[in-house]
Amino acid sequence: MPDRDDAVRKVARHQIDLLSSRSHTHHYWVDRIRQRATSREASARARAGCLAEPVTGKAIRYIDWLFPGILGMNMMFQAASSVLATSCCRYRKSGFLKRLVQPH
Protein backbone atom coordinates (compact mmCIF):
# COMPACT_ATOMS: atom_id res chain seq x y z
CA MET A 1 0.00 0.00 0.00
CA PRO A 2 1.81 3.14 -1.13
CA ASP A 3 -0.51 5.43 0.86
CA ARG A 4 0.13 3.60 4.12
CA ASP A 5 3.88 3.47 3.49
CA ASP A 6 3.89 7.19 2.80
CA ALA A 7 1.91 7.84 6.00
CA VAL A 8 4.28 5.67 8.08
CA ARG A 9 7.19 7.64 6.59
CA LYS A 10 5.47 10.85 7.72
CA VAL A 11 5.21 9.44 11.25
CA ALA A 12 8.96 8.72 11.20
CA ARG A 13 9.67 12.28 10.02
CA HIS A 14 7.58 13.81 12.84
CA GLN A 15 4.90 15.15 10.49
CA ILE A 16 2.14 12.93 11.95
CA ASP A 17 1.92 11.95 15.63
CA LEU A 18 -0.12 8.78 15.34
CA LEU A 19 -1.41 6.70 12.44
CA SER A 20 -4.25 4.22 12.91
CA SER A 21 -5.49 1.58 10.48
CA ARG A 22 -9.14 0.74 9.92
CA SER A 23 -8.68 -2.88 8.93
CA HIS A 24 -10.12 -5.85 10.83
CA THR A 25 -6.97 -5.99 12.99
CA HIS A 26 -6.46 -2.53 14.40
CA HIS A 27 -2.86 -1.36 14.21
CA TYR A 28 -1.47 2.01 15.00
CA TRP A 29 1.92 3.50 14.33
CA VAL A 30 3.29 5.99 16.80
CA ASP A 31 6.35 8.19 17.09
CA ARG A 32 7.25 7.92 20.76
CA ILE A 33 9.75 10.77 20.66
CA ARG A 34 7.03 13.42 20.50
CA GLN A 35 5.12 14.31 23.63
CA ARG A 36 1.74 14.69 21.90
CA ALA A 37 2.08 11.20 20.44
CA THR A 38 2.16 9.58 23.88
CA SER A 39 -1.15 11.13 24.92
CA ARG A 40 -2.75 10.13 21.63
CA GLU A 41 -1.32 6.65 21.98
CA ALA A 42 -3.09 6.25 25.32
CA SER A 43 -6.44 6.89 23.65
CA ALA A 44 -5.62 4.51 20.79
CA ARG A 45 -4.54 1.83 23.26
CA ALA A 46 -7.89 2.12 25.01
CA ARG A 47 -9.55 0.54 21.98
CA ALA A 48 -9.93 -3.21 22.25
CA GLY A 49 -7.40 -5.24 20.28
CA CYS A 50 -5.13 -2.45 19.03
CA LEU A 51 -1.58 -3.48 18.25
CA ALA A 52 1.16 -0.89 18.57
CA GLU A 53 3.94 -0.61 16.01
CA PRO A 54 6.49 1.95 17.15
CA VAL A 55 8.19 3.92 14.40
CA THR A 56 11.59 5.41 14.95
CA GLY A 57 12.96 8.29 13.00
CA LYS A 58 15.79 10.72 13.33
CA ALA A 59 15.12 13.13 16.17
CA ILE A 60 14.83 16.75 15.11
CA ARG A 61 16.99 19.19 17.00
CA TYR A 62 15.32 22.40 18.18
CA ILE A 63 17.73 24.56 16.19
CA ASP A 64 16.86 22.64 13.00
CA TRP A 65 13.22 23.53 13.57
CA LEU A 66 13.85 27.12 14.70
CA PHE A 67 16.51 28.33 12.23
CA PRO A 68 14.38 28.35 9.01
CA GLY A 69 11.77 30.51 10.73
CA ILE A 70 14.36 32.98 12.01
CA LEU A 71 15.93 33.17 8.56
CA GLY A 72 12.56 33.76 6.90
CA MET A 73 11.58 36.48 9.37
CA ASN A 74 14.92 38.26 8.86
CA MET A 75 14.42 38.19 5.10
CA MET A 76 10.91 39.65 5.43
CA PHE A 77 12.05 42.41 7.80
CA GLN A 78 14.98 43.26 5.53
CA ALA A 79 12.65 43.56 2.55
CA ALA A 80 10.18 45.72 4.47
CA SER A 81 12.88 48.05 5.82
CA SER A 82 14.46 48.51 2.38
CA VAL A 83 11.06 49.43 0.90
CA LEU A 84 10.48 51.91 3.72
CA ALA A 85 13.92 53.49 3.29
CA THR A 86 13.43 53.83 -0.47
CA SER A 87 10.03 55.46 0.01
CA CYS A 88 11.35 57.95 2.57
CA CYS A 89 14.22 58.94 0.25
CA ARG A 90 11.83 59.41 -2.65
CA TYR A 91 9.42 61.51 -0.54
CA ARG A 92 12.29 63.70 0.69
CA LYS A 93 13.64 64.20 -2.82
CA SER A 94 10.23 65.19 -4.19
CA GLY A 95 9.54 67.60 -1.31
CA PHE A 96 6.52 65.68 -0.04
CA LEU A 97 7.83 65.57 3.54
CA LYS A 98 8.24 69.39 3.63
CA ARG A 99 4.67 69.82 2.42
CA LEU A 100 3.45 67.61 5.27
CA VAL A 101 5.18 69.80 7.86
CA GLN A 102 4.07 73.19 6.49
CA PRO A 103 0.78 74.54 7.84
CA HIS A 104 -1.93 75.32 5.32
Q: Which pLDDT belongs to residue 43?
A: 61
The C-alpha angle 32, 53, 30, rounded to 5 degrees, equals 35
What phi and psi values does residue 54 have, to the nearest 5 degrees?
-70, 140
Calpha distance 22→11 (Å, rounded): 17
The letter for the amino acid at 83 is V
**Ranges of each domain in the chain:** 2-54, 62-101
pLDDT at 58: 72
Cα–Cα dist 17/29, whole Å: 9
Three-state DSSP state, 12 = helix
Full-model pTM: 0.43
- 17, 10 in Cβ contact below 8 A? no
Instruction: Name residue 101's amino acid.
Output: V
What is the structure's pLDDT at 5? 77
pLDDT of residue 66: 92
Check residue 45 and give its pLDDT.
61
How confident is the chain (104 residues) per 10-residue block, as mean pLDDT? Answer: 72 70 64 59 59 69 89 95 91 90 76
